[in-house]
Amino acid sequence: MQQMATTVTLLLGAASSPGLGDGTGRDGFQCSRLLPRRRQTRPRWVLCSLKYGCLGVGEPGEPGGRSAASPVYSSLTVSPAGDAAVAVVSSEQKVYDVVVKQAALLKRQLRPQQQAPPAVARELDAPRGGLGEAYARCGEICEEYAKTFYLGTLLMTEERRRAIWAIYVWCRRTDELVDGPNASHITPQALDRWERRLEDLFAGRPYDMLDAALSDTITKFPIDIQPFKDMIDGMRTDLKKARYKNFDELYMYCYYVAGTVGLMSVPVMGIAPESKATAESVYGAALALGLANQLTNILRDVGEDARRGRIYLPQDELAEAGLSDEDIFKGVVTEKWRKFMKRQIKRARMFFTEAEQGVTELRKESRWPVWASMLLYRQILDEIEANDYNNFTKRAYVGKAKKVLALPVAYGKSLLLPYSLRNNQT
């Protein structure tokens, strides 16, 4: 899906994607444009879902509006089954469980150890040219397709910078399986092969130089395979699903294709040594930023997706707004559509707000690229509004001048004290 390609900007930049085909590689994949070429009480971030009760289509008192006394959460909690109601696990809870696991891995790595395990050598498994060339190629791809983010990564330490490039490239290659020039030929079996290739990569058996860079990265940072596998599940979803009944379903999809990027990246970005924030809250903020970016992509690309027969908007919320799939396919901006869009934009901005505090808790040298990406992405929502909510035939984008102006603002924000320390300052 085109939206995920740009959502990699969560922590890893944004741009249109390079090609990746299902061709002649060891596992059936080949990427000619990416390979070398010449030239129990939940933390606050989880409770953000409680805000969404006010996002019902229509204000309290309006037809179809929510009453303040009966807020609607973003997730389902009970499945009616006659007298014996069956509890179901919401998407938020499923994702929360993953976040807790990732935070625990990071905390174990930060905890003093009597004897650190030796690093696993991967150089012998790397393709000809070595890891230096592999990381350099990842950097070239990042620079070519995510220029603003790439500039920000130059402030990071070399090891962290190269690791982020490696994650970025893997995410782009994964997205291209279902959104690249050969996407029409991709099958569930192809994604199964890609997942086995991922498992080999984590086991120290990279298939090519770009895999080798990520394989080396995971020996240096506490990166877990689960978010990577979950992203592949997001690609599987795109092969079989073109509608989402409610926000609970959409939430899970957004996690798969975008929130996962944040979970992959936090161990590399690092938490500031002076931060008093919990690892769970920082991971939660990274997740929120991924969700915000993906929701922004969805709202920006409504017309483009509709022309491909896809609607990434909650069906129940469309119905409550008096809208249908036919209205989306017709692509006419009406007052109903404007009201619907205002509430969708409000939800995306709530996730951005949730993310902001967490960004301040990252290591200082890692904050700039994240702030730059976040500020630019938030402006896409402003541009949708400036286009009078016409995301059917007009594509909202941030102009070059605004991008340039955002860089010093992002740098200034990157120097601010972590939010967890501000209340302690006199």
Residue 197: which of 184, 211, 181, 179 has the closest Cα? Answer: 211
Fill in the amino acid letter for 3: Q
124 pLDDT higher than 60: no
Cα separation values, 377 from 6, 83, 199, 350, 372, Å: 10, 47, 32, 14, 9
The pLDDT value given to residue 385: 98
How many other C-beta atoms are found inside a 10 Å radius of the C-beta of residue 416?
A: 14
pLDDT band at 424 (very low <50, low <70, confident <90, very high): low
Helices (H), 111-182: 130-145, 147-153, 158-179
pLDDT in tens, 24-49: 344 444 444 455 444 444 443 333 33
pTM beyond cutoff 0.85: no
Structural contact between residues 222 and 106, judged by C-beta atoms closer than 8 angstroms = yes
The architecture (CATH level 2) of 2-8+89-111+125-417 comes to: Orthogonal Bundle (1.10)
pLDDT in tens, 151-167: 888 889 999 999 999 99
332 pLDDT higher than 70: yes
- Domain boundary assignment for the chain: 2-8+89-111+125-417
pLDDT band at 72 (very low <50, low <70, confident <90, very high): very low
Q: What are phi and psi of 81, to 5 degrees?
A: -150, 65
Please tell me the distance from the alpha carbon of residue 179 to that of residue 19, in angstroms, as a whole number.
9
pLDDT in tens, 46-68: 333 333 333 433 333 343 333 33
Please tell me the distance from the alpha carbon of residue 296 to that of residue 309, in angstroms, as a whole number.
19
